[in-house]
Structure 1
Amino acid sequence: MYQVGSDIVKKAARVASICLMMSFAGVLASCQTDPDIDITKLGVETDPPEVLYNQGLANIKAGNMSEAARKFDAVDAQHPFSDWSRKSLVMSTFTKYRLGRYNEAIATGNRFMSLYPEAEDADYVQYLVGLSHWKQIPTVTQDQRSSVRTIEAMQRVVDNYPNSEYVEDAQVKMRFARDQLAGKEMQVGRYYLERKEYLAAVSRFRTVVEQYPNTNQIEEALARLVEAYFAMGVVQEAQTAAAVLGHNYPDSQWYADSYKLLQSGGLEPRENSGSWIARAGRNLLIGS
């Protein structure tokens, strides 16, 4: 039989106390098998919130963004709804954005916004959420849900924080996202046009003209409408699309091509005021 000294008994008592505080079975098993376990290896932060927060800031300064995010998350996990937690959520959103962990940044930012929509840094956090969506926007050949979410997130910056310093860039990012959405519609529209599925093509080009009138796709959309309607023999709509195109973009190559196409059929641009194209044309901005 082994002699158990009083120091060993005291160590065992401390370990047992730690084990009782751990709610998950894996940690408990480790405590039972390793009396000298280092709880910091388990990701358990025991420092006060202000210490953890300042450690996070120090890690940012040192360029250790992953460690900084871990420190800030520990503050929120252990001291939720506190002032330190509020500040840590801001910094956690920022560090995750910088790390390219965009979905995590969005989740953390949305948690902050649900708790503190009127806080001093709310505009910045909402902007970071928008940027995290914006960074995930793919090419127009792929699904554009990130473009939709960018617009939604950045619109909240504009609507809810109109005096924010981030409003101007939020609007820039929304314009880019709308260009992407319009570009996706154009890609599908051209696909149908090439296959002579003119009604399906017109539907896509019409979406661009009506929903994304001030994007970089509008000139081609109008020209493609001329092409599709001309191919179907819907002369008035083809003439109207060309007239709206020429009125807003008279020096455009798309207008020159549309004019030439109409001339090949003995026609010229002529606006029908009752056409949906004419109505939509009133929303266009010259040179947009």
Structure 2
Amino acid sequence: MRLVKIVGIVTICVLASACSWFGGDKEIPDIPEQQLYEESIAALELADYQQAVEKLQLLEARYPFGRYSEQAQLELIYAYHKNYEPEAASAAADRFIRLHPSHENIDYAYYLKGLTAFEQDRTFFERYLPIDVSQRDPGAALSSFESFSTLLSRYPDSKYAPDANKRMVFLKNRLARYEIHVADFYMKRGAFVAAANRGRYVVENLKNTPSVSDALAVMYQAYTELGMTDLANSASEVLLTNYPDYNLTTYRKQNKTLLETATFGLLGSSEEPIPPSRPQTNKPISDEQGKTETTERSWFDRVTFGVFE
């Protein structure tokens, strides 16, 4: 029995030290604070952002109250941003702002937070192809706008303020365009109250954007469908006064039958065709004997695209 206990103790000791035999318990050498900081800066200059992140994380963990601690936290925000880690960059910026609210470079933390969110949803294709990003979820755009807005309101003389202001103009236009897309979505589904509210939000909160004219048009169309004549007339008056060349039309919901949808509009139309703006006549076609005939096509001819008739 005693031998069994001895064997068990030896086995436990062997298993406990097995990871160190195979290098699993590797110790990180004790690197001085200044050396760690200099190595992290060198990695940043060489665009080796993954190495810079590791060095700065190690510096902050080993020397949390050292003389390079605050600067290392700022550099870590930048390293996360360049290493395409937006969540980590935003969290690091929030942490720096919370720990050092009176730091002389806190405007840089706000700027980096806004810049990270600004580029968060910009993929490779969106940078080089004409893709309408205003139809995407505006969460990152809103976060970026708020960070830049805080920067401009608290530190208007910051050297990052001019660039932040330009980016805010772009974000404001994008957010306004997104609201118009949502309003159009509501209009197509008959949610006219929601569409009118979206248009009014753009007019009241996103002024001086190119989408204001479309917002007024949505308000006019929605109020017209709701039978609110006074509000519709007010929206059209404001629209045509400020945008006299705008082509204002009344929204008309199109209800397509199943047959019309299946035949791509060739058959089963449930509505009368909209009359043209001016009279039109069918152009006569001369036959071999000099007679004329109108260009009326039968339903069979339209279905077969003119192959059999």
Q: Tell me if both proteins adopt one fold, taking TM over 0.5 as the criterion.
A: yes
Distance in 2 separating the partners of 1:239 and 1:113: 49
- One-letter amino acid of the counterpart of residue 89, structure 1: Q
Q: Note the 1:57-96 alignment, pairs <5 A.
A: 57-96=41-80
Q: Note the 1:130-145 alignment, pairs <5 A.
A: 130-137=114-121, 139-145=133-139
Comparing both structures, which one devotes a greater share of its residues to helix?
1
2:203 maps to 209
Tell me which of 26, 30, 34 is aligned to 2:19.
30
Q: Name structure 2 gaps, 5 residues minimum.
A: 1-15, 123-132, 252-309
1:250 maps to 244
**Matched positions, count:** 226
CA, structure 1 residues 108+36, in 2 after alignment: closer, same or farther (shift >3 Å)?
A: closer
Local SS of the residue matching 1:143: coil
1:199 maps to 193
Q: Note the 1:134-283 alignment, pairs <5 A.
A: 134-137=118-121, 139-251=133-245, 255=246, 257-258=247-248
Distance in 2 separating the partners of 1:197 and 1:227: 12
Distance in 2 separating the partners of 1:28 and 1:162: 60
1:122 maps to 106
Instruction: Please give the root-mean-square deviation of Cα atoms over the aligned residues, in Å.
Output: 2.5
CA, structure 1 residues 28+178, in 2 after alignment: closer, same or farther (shift >3 Å)?
A: farther
CA, structure 1 residues 186+95, in 2 after alignment: closer, same or farther (shift >3 Å)?
A: same
Local SS of the residue matching 1:221: helix
Distance in 1 separating the partners of 2:70 and 2:19: 33
Q: Name structure 1 gaps, 5 residues minimum.
A: 1-26, 263-288
Distance in 2 separating the partners of 1:126 and 1:28: 48
- CA drift of 1:62 comes to 2.3
Contact (CA 8 Å) 2:96, 2:109: kept in 1 or not?
yes
Distance in 2 separating the partners of 1:37 and 1:119: 39
- CA drift of 1:132 comes to 0.8
Identical amino acids, percent of aligned pairs: 29
Contact (CA 8 Å) 1:222, 1:245: kept in 2 or not?
yes
Distance in 2 separating the partners of 1:198 and 1:37: 65
CA, structure 1 residues 56+197, in 2 after alignment: closer, same or farther (shift >3 Å)?
A: same
Contact (CA 8 Å) 1:182, 1:215: kept in 2 or not?
yes
Contact (CA 8 Å) 1:137, 1:144: kept in 2 or not?
no
Contact (CA 8 Å) 2:213, 2:239: kept in 1 or not?
yes
Show CA shifts across 1:103-161 (max 9, x none): 11111122111122222221112100111111124733332221221122112211221
1:3 maps to none
- CA drift of 1:83 comes to 2.7
Instruction: Tell me the TM-score normalised to structure 1 length.
Output: 0.71
Distance in 2 separating the partners of 1:50 and 1:110: 25
Instruction: Tell me the TM-score normalised to structure 2 length.
Output: 0.66
- CA drift of 1:51 comes to 0.7
Distance in 1 separating the partners of 2:18 and 2:236: 76
- One-letter amino acid of the counterpart of residue 219, structure 1: S
- One-letter amino acid of the counterpart of residue 194, structure 1: K
Show CA shifts across 1:65-101 (max 9, x none): 1101211111111111333111111111111111211
- CA drift of 1:261 comes to 5.4
Name which one, 1 or 2, has greater alpha-carbon Rg: 2
- One-letter amino acid of the counterpart of residue 30, structure 1: C
| Segment drifting more, 177-186 vs 68-77 | 177-186
2:90 maps to 106
- CA drift of 1:38 comes to 4.1
CA, structure 1 residues 52+65, in 2 after alignment: closer, same or farther (shift >3 Å)?
A: same
Distance in 1 separating the partners of 2:69 and 2:136: 38
- CA drift of 1:182 comes to 2.2
